[in-house]
């Protein structure tokens, strides 16, 4: 029987001290970290970029198939992805949690092991947070801070007619991984004696449970002096994010379905689930790739990176947002991705 330490035995401040006892500081800009009323940071003349995300059990994650360590890692990763979408370098995070008495100290240690793994991987400092009791499930709120050279941040507004539309990595696998996990959960609930069949879908499941922010793409763009005209991370589906860019930039677009980057395992999973891999790529969400536009003059430098695909181009606003299919027909691009209030 694994050891179980009740949270009440430590109290709020004792719990914070316990979970942060091995917390490391990696950035010179972190002057004062966990342990006081507030943290103190100094970005030495660079501008600070701030983002925050709220993750709720039963809405954003299901603990029946999400290991706590993976959840901690993902909670950090999705926030760092937002910083990447602004061309910022992540530096610090705060983590606040709401917990019920069904969680033990050991369970929270597992959650924080994932948080610390992400901090180490991306060289960010955990500088504060809060804990509270929760009547229903686990609540995680992460705020992430990054830095950027003065006025070098990139927004969603700035795409110009004839710009190229680019996306990093591949699309649709995270959504398909979620469908596989949900399928296996349903089978398990009906037949607890059966083992889940996950071995052939490790890539898709990994994309769902352990996304990675594309700090490498930001570094590539900076090292090659490529400044995107607009950028957003793909959390709610490519279609939804592209429509955000078009709306904010007052432009239209054309996307080619045969140019969408789709992993071979994602195509296989889509076939098995009787789903369209293209639809998953357009509307699936949780890929946490970077969607951005660049001037055509940057094309030769962009194609040096095999992890970046050019999937379309920017048009005048009155032409709308369109999907050009390989078969010939042109469709209006629809936002069918994640909606937090549906």
Specify which residues 260 forms β-bridges with: none
Whether 178 and 30 share a structural domain: no
Same domain, 192 and 281: yes
Query: At 280, which CATH number?
Result: 3.90.650.10
Q: With 60 as the cut, is the pLDDT of residue 316 above it? A: yes
DSSP percent split of the chain into helix, strand, coil, nearest 5: 35, 25, 40
**Residue 85 and residue 223 in one domain:** no
Q: Are residues 327 and 211 in the same domain?
A: yes
Query: Which H or E element spans position 82?
Result: helix 68-84
Same domain, 175 and 128: no
Q: Is 64 contained in some domain?
A: yes
User: In which region does residue 310 sit, left (phi positive, over 0), alpha (psi from -120 to 50) or beta (all else)?
Assistant: beta
Residue 341 has a pLDDT of 38
Residue 185: pLDDT over 80: yes
CA distances from 236 to 6, 20, 259 (A): 37, 32, 19
Taking the C-alpha atoms of residue 117 and residue 311, their distance in angstroms, rounded to an integer, is 33
Instruction: Please state, rounded to an integer, the average pLDDT across all residues of the chain.
Output: 91
pLDDT bucket at 337, cuts 50 / 70 / 90: low
Return the H-helix or E-strand segment holding 77: helix 68-84
- For residues 126 and 22, membership in a common domain is answered with yes
Lowest mean pLDDT among 11-20, 137-146, 248-257: 11-20
Q: 47 falls in which pLDDT band (50, 70, 90)? A: very high
Residues 89 and 191 in one domain: no
Assigned domain for 202 exists: yes
Same domain, 133 and 203: no
Report how many domains make up the chain.
Answer: 2
In percent, how much of the chain has pLDDT > 70?
Answer: 96
The residues near 137 (Cβ < 8 Å, ≥ 6 apart) are: 56, 57, 58, 100
The residue out of 124, 148, 172 marking a domain boundary is: 148
The verdict on 326 and 268 lying in the same domain is yes
pLDDT of residue 113: 97
The segment with the largest mean pLDDT, out of 22-26, 47-51, 111-115, is 111-115
Instruction: Specify if 302 maps to a domain.
Output: yes
* Domain span at 78: 7-148
Pair (123, 169) in one structural domain: no
Q: Are 79 and 142 contacting, i.e. CB atoms less than 8 angstroms apart? A: yes
**179, 312: one domain:** yes
Q: Which of 120, 148, 176 is the last residue of a domain?
A: 148
Tokens 């050991």: give the residue.
Answer: 106
Residue 155 resides in a domain: no
Q: How confident is residue 64, by pLDDT bands cut at 50, 70 and 90?
A: very high
Is residue 153 situated within a structural domain? Answer: no
Residue 256 predicted with pLDDT over 90: yes
Q: Give the per-residue pLDDT at 37.
A: 64
Backbone φ and ψ for 108, nearest 5 degrees, come out as -70, -30
What pTM, to 2 d.p., does this model score?
A: 0.91
Segment 277-306 mean pLDDT? 96
Chosen domain end from 119, 148, 177: 148
Q: Tokens for 190?
A: 């009906």
On the 0-12 / 13-18 / 19+ scale of CB atoms within 10 A, 36 is exposed
Residues 96 and 235 in one domain: no
Report pLDDT for 192: 83
pLDDT band at residue 36 using 50, 70 and 90 as cut-offs: low
> Looking at residue 211, what is its pLDDT?
97
Label the pairing between strands 321-324 and 40-41. Answer: unpaired
Comparing 300 with 20, which gets the higher pLDDT?
300
User: CB of 235 within 8 A of CB of 286?
Assistant: yes
- Residues 277-283: what's their mean pLDDT? 96
The answer, yes or no, to whether residue 299 has pLDDT greater than 80, is yes
The answer to whether 179 and 266 have CB atoms below 8 angstroms apart is no
- Whether residue 255 is contained in a domain is answered as yes
In a domain, 204, yes or no: yes
User: Which H/E stretch holds residue 109?
Assistant: helix 105-122
58: domain CATH number is: 3.30.1330.10
Tell me if residue 160 falls in helix, strand or coil. Answer: coil
Where is pLDDT greater, at 337 or 174?
174
Average pLDDT over residues 142-153: 93
Evaluate if residue 86 carries a pLDDT over 70: yes
Return the percentage of the chain with pLDDT > 90, whole number: 76
In a domain, 74, yes or no: yes
**Average pLDDT estimate for 261-272:** 97
Nearest Cα to Cα of residue 245 among 282, 283, 293: 293
CA 57 to chain CA mean position, Å: 17
Mean per-residue pLDDT, 108-131: 96
């Amino acid at each position: 029987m694994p050891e179980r330490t009740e949270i009440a035995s430590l109290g709020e401040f004792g719990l914070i001290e316990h979970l942060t006892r091995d917390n490391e500081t990696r950035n010179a800009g972190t002057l004062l970290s966990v342990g006081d009323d507030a943290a103190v940071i100094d970005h030495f003349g660079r501008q600070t970029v701030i983002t925050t995300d709220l993750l709720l059990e039963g809405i954003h994650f299901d603990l029946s198939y999400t290991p706590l360590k993976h959840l901690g890692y993902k909670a950090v990763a999705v926030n760092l992805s937002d910083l990447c979408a602004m061309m910022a370098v992540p530096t610090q995070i705060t983590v606040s949690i709401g917990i019920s008495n069904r969680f033990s100290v050991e369970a929270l240690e597992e959650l924080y092991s994932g948080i610390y793994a992400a901090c180490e991987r991306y060289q960010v400092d955990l500088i504060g947070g809060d804990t509270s009791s929760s009547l229903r499930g686990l609540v995680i709120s992460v705020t992430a801070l990054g830095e950027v050279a003065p006025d070098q941040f990139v927004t969603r507004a700035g795409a110009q007619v004839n710009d190229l539309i680019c996306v990093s990595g591949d699309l649709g696998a995270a959504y398909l991984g979620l469908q596989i996990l949900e399928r296996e959960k349903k089978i398990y609930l009906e037949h607890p004696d059966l083992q889940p069949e996950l071995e052939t879908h490790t890539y898709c499941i990994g994309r769902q449970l352990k996304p990675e922010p594309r700090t490498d793409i930001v570094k590539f763009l900076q090292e090659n002096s490529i400044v995107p005209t607009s950028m957003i991370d793909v959390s709610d589906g490519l279609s939804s994010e592209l429509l955000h860019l078009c709306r904010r930039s007052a432009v239209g677009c054309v996307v080619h379905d045969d140019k969408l980057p789709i992993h071979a395992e994602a195509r296989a999973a889509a076939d098995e689930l009787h789903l369209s891999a293209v639809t998953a790529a357009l509307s699936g969400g949780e890929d946490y790739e970077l969607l951005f536009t660049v001037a055509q003059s940057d094309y030769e430098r962009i194609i040096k990176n095999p992890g970046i695909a050019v999937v379309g181009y920017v048009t005048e606003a009155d032409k709308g947002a369109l999907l050009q299919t390989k078969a010939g027909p042109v469709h209006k691009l629809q936002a069918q991705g994640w909606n937090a209030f549906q």
